[in-house]
Amino acid sequence: MSEHKSTKVALITGAGAGIGLQLTRRLLGEGWEVAALIRSVFSEEDSMIREAISKGQLRVYKAELTDFSQLRRVLNEVNGKEDHIDVLFNNAGGSLPELRFSPQGREMHYELQTVVPYIVFMELKDLLQKGALKTVVNTSSAALRHVKRFNPDELPRPAGFKKLTGPYATTKLALSLWTRELAAPMAAEGFRLISADPGSNNTLRPTKKSGLPPAVKLLMRLFFSHPSQGANLLWDAAFKRTGYPSGSFVLKGRAADLPYAETGSKILSMMQRIYEQEFNAGWY
Side chain identity, residue 123: E
Q: Which residue, among 64, 45, 58, 46, has the nearest Cα to 10 in the 3D structure?
A: 58
Position 53 in a domain: yes
Give the chain's domain count: 1
The string of pLDDT tens digits covering residues 174-210 is 999 999 999 999 999 999 999 999 987 545 455 556 6
pTM given for the model: 0.91
d(CA 133, CA 138): 15
Position 126 in a domain: yes
Position 4 in a domain: no
Q: Which residue, among 12, 9, 28, has the nearest Cα to 198 in the 3D structure?
A: 12
Torsion angles phi and psi, residue 257, rounded to 5:
-70, 155
Residue 18, SS3 per DSSP: helix
Range of the domain at 222: 9-282
Sign of CA dihedral 243, 247, 253, 255: negative
Position 201 in a domain: yes
Q: Note the pLDDT of residue 243.
A: 75
The string of pLDDT tens digits covering residues 33-84 is 999 999 988 988 999 999 999 999 999 999 999 999 999 999 999 999 999 9
Strand pairing of 249-251 and 192-196?
Answer: parallel
Q: Is the pLDDT of residue 229 over 90?
A: no
Q: Is the model more confident about 227 or about 161?
A: 161
Position 2 in a domain: no
Q: Is the pLDDT of residue 1 over 50?
A: no
Q: Domain of 35: which CATH number?
A: 3.40.50.720
Q: Which residue, among 1, 44, 39, has the nearest Cα to 20 in the 3D structure?
A: 39
Position 37 in a domain: yes
Give me the residues paired with residue 137 across strands.
89, 194
d(CA 247, CA 104): 28
Position 128 in a domain: yes
Q: Note the pLDDT of residue 202.
A: 47
Position 3 in a domain: no
The string of pLDDT tens digits covering residues 102-157 is 999 999 999 999 999 999 999 999 999 999 999 999 999 999 999 999 999 999 99
Q: To 5 degrees, how large is the angle CA 238–CA 242–CA 243?
A: 100
Q: Note the pLDDT of residue 281.
A: 86
